[in-house]
A and B are shown apart, each in its own frame.
Chain A
Amino acid sequence: MIAFDFAYHKPTSLQEAFELLSEEGAIPIMGSTDVVVKMRARRLRPKAVVDLKFIDELKFFKFNPEEGMVFGSAVTMNELIEDHPEVKEHYPVFYQAIKKVGAYQTRNRATVAGNIGNSSPAADSVPPLLTYNAKLKIVSKEGERIVELKDFFTGPGKNVLKQGEIIHSIIVPYEGKSIGMYYKLSRIKAVDLSTIGVALTVIDPEGKRDIRIALASVAPTPLRVFEAEDFIRSKELTKENVEEFAKIVQKNTSPITDARGTKEYRYEMAYVLPIKILREIGLYKEVN
């Protein structure tokens, strides 16, 4: 039971959704796994919720090497990873991160678009998407625009979406084979927000070996560390270089202390985890 009244709308077309969302106090919802929790806690008090999951146009998935992966905002996390083997095959770090969101029940409802729209610094699906250079197609009554995911977030719970705009789909370019890991530290293994999450993706590991890194829960928004990527590009993965790489990652974070961990712990892990991942994926062989 939610302790205040609001209207519920279930549009079946984008046009209908745009009309409903133009009303003041109306918010879009998808799986409602974050929104209902916030409404119960009265941290969010919309006048109306506009449930977008019944809009067929938002429920599609396609992949081809030229365009990459494109999927609609109403595709649930479990649909993505269970019905589309391309996700695991071509975007392994994203796949791993999705499996670490909530629990099986959560992932039957939750969507990647919802995770992005909620704009939590702890959003697990976001760091891997940042490393894969994902873009968002945003639509409204006025038209559409494409926003790079790295430019989408403006602060905790804040983003560049304007009233009446919705995330239509997520576009993830395909840049060739990738390996990597999403490493999530949390108090319990499932159904917990990340204390810190690190996505390290290596595009074309046997060729140009392009290392990319993005983190959750260490800054006001999910954070990709281009400076560290630039440093390690075409350098050998020696002890000295890898440690410097991790130091640059760490230096770019600005963690805080909260119920899930202290800023000191997060800061330390922002150094430890990049090295650990490089070792676990077999690119870095030094023992200490």
Chain B
Amino acid sequence: MMIKMTINGDVVEVDVKPNETLLDVLRNKLYITGPKEGCGNGECGACTVIYNGKPINSCLVLAPEADGAEILTVEGLTKNGKLHPIQEAFIEENAFQCGFCTPGFIMSTKALLDRKKNPTREDIVEALAGNLCRCTGYQTIIRAVEKAAEKLGVKE
């Protein structure tokens, strides 16, 4: 069946099957490969996208459900080749090594900073608890989120 979604500001029409997930469609049909498949069970957060304003695991959404949805992936953060302040903060704080989990972490961070301008450390830990990283440990990631919040605060 044909579905229509708005992905990173663009209206996209794509033919999907019920047994495909939103993640399958993003990666394999639309070549939007920022969201990754880690566990495929909603445990690792590597597939996190912002779906109708909220971060969710795209591996657990059946594709036909997404008809009419508005979706933001990490690709949508970069404007005219310029990185988003959250991305800059992750680089500055060395908040990744292999990078597989990073798009998911960045989308969870984006959603957190959209709902809370000045998150506490506790808020950050809670918002990122569904994202796993096997390389860096989490301290640099938490620092990157704090720095991103500062950067975004200064801008406004």
Please report A residues at the B interface, Cβ cutoff 8 Å.
Answer: 1-8, 10, 31-33, 36-37, 40, 49, 51, 53, 78, 99, 102-106, 108-109, 189-191
Contacts and interface: CB of A to CB of B under 8 A. Distances in A.
B156 interface: no
B103 to A, nearest CB: 13
Contacts of A105: 42, 45, 48, 55-57, 108, 130
Contacts of B65: 8, 10, 32, 51, 53
Nearest to B23: A1
A49 B24 contact: no
Interface stretch (B14-22, B89-97, B146-154): B14-22
Contacts of B42: 33, 36-37, 102, 105-106, 191
A109 B65 CA distance: 12
Contacts of B51: 108
A108 B54 contact: yes
Instruction: Identify the 9 closest CB pairs spanning chains A and B, nearest first.
Output: A103-B130, A190-B129, A8-B18, A2-B19, A108-B54, A8-B64, A105-B130, A36-B60, A105-B57
Nearest to B65: A51
A5 B51 CA distance: 25
B32 interface: no
20 contacts: A2-B19, A7-B18, A32-B61, A32-B62, A32-B65, A33-B57, A36-B21, A36-B42, A36-B60, A40-B40, A40-B41, A103-B45, A103-B129, A103-B130, A104-B55, A104-B129, A105-B42, A108-B54, A189-B129, A191-B43
Interface string B24-59: 100000000000000011110100100100111101
B38 to A, nearest CB: 12
Contacts of B48: 105
B137 to A, nearest CB: 14
A4 B19 contact: yes
Contacts of A5: 17-19
B10 interface: no
Q: Identify the interface centre among A40, A49, A104: most chain B CB within 10 Å of its CB.
A: A104
Nearest to A79: B54
Given A32-B61, A105-B130, A1 B55 contact: no
Contact of A104 (B18, B59, B61, B127): B127
Given A102-B42, A104-B55, A108-B54, A37 B19 contact: no
B130 A1 contact: no
A190 B124 CA distance: 13
Contacts of A2: 19-21
Contacts of B59: 36
